[in-house]
Structure 1
């Protein structure tokens, strides 16, 4: 079955100037073209009334229908593909496979699995994602630069795949992270993998972290927590207080009582809290680490997304001989740059062995293109604009939360990133709120996702980029009503 429907009325009726007022071309000044294309495709998918696979319009058909470039259509499709709403088939095109109602996992399934599955339901408002690049990505410039590199360097002239990543990109990252004659990196200290998850898995294997003790700041990214758990690591969570601080006495007690191998914490802004730990407090943490000989594994995945770029990162405060840095590009560049990377001066033999065993298949041309974006200064220009857009969006979101939910939620305005971390003003289990909102096709991220030890049950993470401001406004009413009902339960 092929979807061949007339455009929505807003895309077809003529306006005062004789042209369709709803064409994507005309809406470029009020929003990004790919967002309009994305919403159009979602509406097509939601109209499908069969559980069989459904062929969607081709790139060229949609480009002509919506009056946008093929690359814009491609980006919108890539977002849907990442969400699991569509898939591509070579020489055939894109297909939608609506999720039938009976396929949803039961209430007893893992919370993360339920979030993933229900987020794919047609018409669902997803309020828990963390996708900063949805506001502004580098996907189109990256793909254009990649095509230019392919013309300059024909495939037969390209060198063999490099198991630790393309040397040009490794060198660019080494330069980016070098800040002094003491705090420097070489290209050989940089290892690139398919994504942040696979790089962390490789690092865990290389360092033999199974049955060792690793401290993590809490709340912590759920992917990292579950990877550590699956790897048999003894995870000790250090909760951040409302001001984004550790309990230093507790930290010292843990370091005295247990043979801690690593402290895993953010380079600056903690995600999902969006809080920035004060510099003097970070210095005290660094002194404790030095005193007890603990390594720092710095999570720099959101390090570029502080609204006011921090001049001092955690890595600048610890002994560089006991430092590892983990990060990736996707958060600020977009889904066309999924690679993760690791910086380490040590464990070279083991890291090389495990990266060789992984045999990552990564496009050298795509990596070269990312390196050129760094060397040309395009990354810094992009980050400046993205930070401004994120800050503006978060200001709008926090104002809306204050207006609509000030009686139900407490939150501190984020200092970076694309999400707000909020805590219920009265005792409530956000898992129950999550279950209630699923019935209204609203998906939140309960705080318990960000802990392995049952912390943050009265918290949730809200996204500022997943849906439009109007959709967020519509969703806050049901969220507030559900919270108030739970308060009275």
Structure 2
């Protein structure tokens, strides 16, 4: 099967990406292998270091490679067959499967597959290169170029009392990088962090690796927030930080009501807790939504994180943070990390914001996502009626499905792998064994007849994996 999203142009990073896939497939599949450095590949392929970095970022995001500080990039060993990976960590198995050729990756949530701004970015970049020749492109801006930081500060400012300055914005190579810096800057090791659940597995794994005690607070079955349990945790646990989404919580699609938002803000202030707001999907609601949670809480105990990639596409992999406090520590950590980011690419993104092109694109993308979600819903009703239940998505590019009958979702996952299809079992979005009856599936594939066959296969796998 081949359900890959179609792209209208072939960019340099895609050629590098294909070259790296071929290179990885040629090397040993049993042990990790060190890959060429950014500089080595840049010289070998006669492309810019930033282009190599974007391709590597995409490969790392797909789980094909990983980076080691001061050592470079390495290719993960790929199991010779699915049985070898049967006892491995579920996330490792998902990553390993995604590296195998011919797999249908139905597990992601990549809105920009329905329309990215790659072409606009590269056009702007060519214009800016003429204005800023290579010798005038500074690499010594470890927190990001001023133009983009200022554009983000302006976008996040909502009132004279809820305003941001450019020097309170910090831009890194990708979302993982800026979150790792944040964890170090806040000194979260050994502290208690409350997260909404389900929660993005990248965030969960980073907190777990850092030695943070994570307490998960599941959304209730009706999509409401468990304020009673939340207040109990704040009262009885030494909670240092609370992680919540700005508007829509993904992948569940749940959202705080206005009274819930006000009560959450009151409790955070009462107990003196920091709010870490996940704004990754904050601008991807299909219709106008409520004000972000950050506009209600104490701004001195607020940190916001997000990235450009979900909206702009893989040519804009940068992640970013906003914080009024801990500025000196964040600057120190960014200096230590020494991100070498393309100043031209950042300036091009800033121009998209300043010109209004970003907002035009965002409006079109939201419309396409909503239309695609409605089409996918019709497919689910036709192909999987009686097998799954769900709430209609209101943001993002995926469905959060729950099996109607009790099933072993790991068996479903394994069964789909044999059909060269990858789903994301719900337990990936928890550290404490929640969401075993759920899965995340993408709805960003358009015009592919094989999607109906895939959903039929998934319905059969659910039937065959029932436990009761």
Residue 409 of structure 1 contacts residue 425 of structure 1 at CA under 8 Å; is this kept in 2?
yes
Aligned match of 1:421:
400
Aligned match of 1:238:
217
Shift of 1:309: 2.9
1:39-188 superposed matches below 5 A? 52=26, 83=62, 101-102=80-81, 105-188=84-167
Flag the 1:468–1:125 CA change in 2: closer, same or farther, 3 A: farther
Aligned match of 1:71:
none
CA distance in 2, matches of 1:462, 1:273: 12
Q: 2:413 aligns with which of 434, 452, 474?
A: 434
Shift of 1:332: 0.7
**How far does the alpha carbon of each residue in 1:16-54 deviate from its partner, in whole angstroms, 9 at most, with x for none?**
xxxxxxxxxxxxxx975359xxxxxx99x99x9x9648x
Gaps spanning 5+ residues in structure 2: where?
11-16, 28-53, 66-75
Helix, strand or coil for the counterpart of 1:150? helix
1:468-479 superposed matches below 5 A? 468-479=447-458
Shift of 1:478: 1.0
Helix, strand or coil for the counterpart of 2:441? strand
Aligned match of 1:299:
278
Shift of 1:77: 12
CA distance in 2, matches of 1:265, 1:108: 32
CA distance in 1, matches of 2:229, 2:79: 49
Flag the 1:151–1:218 CA change in 2: closer, same or farther, 3 A: same
**How far does the alpha carbon of each residue in 1:143-190 deviate from its partner, in whole angstroms, 9 at most, with x for none?**
111111001111122334201110110000000000101000000100
Matched, 1:287 2:266: yes
Residue 327 of structure 1 contacts residue 341 of structure 1 at CA under 8 Å; is this kept in 2?
yes
Residue 51 of structure 1 contacts residue 99 of structure 1 at CA under 8 Å; is this kept in 2?
no
Q: 1:207 aligns with which of 161, 168, 186?
A: 186
Residue 212 of structure 1 contacts residue 233 of structure 1 at CA under 8 Å; is this kept in 2?
yes
Flag the 1:165–1:76 CA change in 2: closer, same or farther, 3 A: closer
Q: 2:226 aligns with which of 247, 252, 256?
A: 247
Helix, strand or coil for the counterpart of 1:462? strand
Tell me the matched-pair count.
Answer: 424
CA distance in 1, matches of 2:77, 2:283: 36
Matched, 1:361 2:302: no
Residue 247 of structure 2 contacts residue 293 of structure 2 at CA under 8 Å; is this kept in 1?
yes
Residue 125 of structure 1 contacts residue 467 of structure 1 at CA under 8 Å; is this kept in 2?
no
Residue 269 of structure 1 contacts residue 276 of structure 1 at CA under 8 Å; is this kept in 2?
yes
CA distance in 2, matches of 1:289, 1:156: 48
Q: Higher mean Cα deviation, 173-182 or 433-442?
A: 433-442
Helix, strand or coil for the counterpart of 2:449? helix
Flag the 1:467–1:222 CA change in 2: closer, same or farther, 3 A: farther
Residue 79 of structure 2 contacts residue 96 of structure 2 at CA under 8 Å; is this kept in 1?
no
**How far does the alpha carbon of each residue in 1:221-269 deviate from its partner, in whole angstroms, 9 at most, with x for none?**
0000000000001100000013322211111111111111111011111
Aligned match of 2:433:
454
Aligned match of 1:374:
353
Shift of 1:318: 0.8
Flag the 1:387–1:353 CA change in 2: closer, same or farther, 3 A: same
The TM-score normalised by the length of structure 2 is 0.84
Matched, 1:33 2:8: yes
Flag the 1:51–1:135 CA change in 2: closer, same or farther, 3 A: closer
CA distance in 2, matches of 1:331, 1:377: 18
Shift of 1:99: 7.0
CA distance in 1, matches of 2:416, 2:444: 19
**How far does the alpha carbon of each residue in 1:292-328 deviate from its partner, in whole angstroms, 9 at most, with x for none?**
1111100001111000132401111111121110011
Flag the 1:114–1:268 CA change in 2: closer, same or farther, 3 A: same
Helix, strand or coil for the counterpart of 1:342? strand
Residue 409 of structure 2 contacts residue 465 of structure 2 at CA under 8 Å; is this kept in 1?
no
Aligned match of 1:383:
362
Gaps spanning 5+ residues in structure 1: where?
1-29, 36-41, 54-74, 87-96
**How far does the alpha carbon of each residue in 1:401-426 deviate from its partner, in whole angstroms, 9 at most, with x for none?**
11211211010001100000011112
Flag the 1:138–1:452 CA change in 2: closer, same or farther, 3 A: same
Helix, strand or coil for the counterpart of 1:33? coil
Q: Higher mean Cα deviation, 135-144 or 284-293?
A: 284-293
Shift of 1:120: 2.5
Q: CA RMSD of the aligned region, Å?
A: 3.1
